[in-house]
Amino acid sequence: MKHSFLIPLLFLSIISFAQKKKEIKKLGIKSQTVTETINGKVINDSKTVYDNKGQVTEDWNYDKDGNLKAITKFTYNKDGNVIEELEYDGKNVLKEKRLMKYDLMEQKTEEQFLDGNGKQIKKHTFTYTANGLKSEKKIFDANNTLISTKKYVYTTK
């Protein structure tokens, strides 16, 4: 009973995200910038850049003083799933690269984390039940040695 509310909550958040993507595409929005005015000073907070499908292609984050802290760039496959994330620091130096793989059901099966030089930091693998629910997450270190396994159990009573 304790976990039965999670599935509808997850479903609603996916619908909400899809709706936002549809609206961004429909309205032709190319970017969104968030600023905050504190004591008369305008400070950058964040900026999000979208492609013509309404997908986020860049996410800019600023520190509390409005200085650029990080930029994350996203690449998608033909199904609209993120397959690559590149994270740059405020000086546009690549800090981390994340590569994702998906199965035929569009479920993420692997997420690889690389440093700015392309060396693996860690890797996550995911398995799913016949119903498509995540059943297991394994975390591997830089040498592909298994560090931990997380199991997901779903109840309906």
pLDDT of the residue at 11: 41
Residue 134 belongs to domain spanning: 6-151
**Are residues 138 and 125 in contact, defined by beta-carbon separation less than 8 angstroms?**
yes
157 domain residue, yes or no: no
* Number of structural domains found in the chain: 1
**Are residues 108 and 126 in contact, defined by beta-carbon separation less than 8 angstroms?**
yes
pLDDT of the residue at 19: 55
pLDDT of the residue at 18: 52
pLDDT of the residue at 20: 85
CATH code: domain of residue 50: 2.40.128.720
**112 Cβ contact partners less than 8 Å away, ≥ 6 residues apart:** 98, 99, 100, 120, 123
**Are residues 154 and 133 in contact, defined by beta-carbon separation less than 8 angstroms?**
yes
37 domain residue, yes or no: yes
Tokens of 128: 């799913």
156 domain residue, yes or no: no
19 domain residue, yes or no: yes
pLDDT along the chain (157 residues), means of 10: 46 49 90 94 95 95 95 96 97 97 96 97 96 96 98 93
Look at residues 12, 60, 69, 65 and name the one whose alpha carbon lies nearest to residue 42: 65
22 domain residue, yes or no: yes
pLDDT of the residue at 53: 93
1 domain residue, yes or no: no
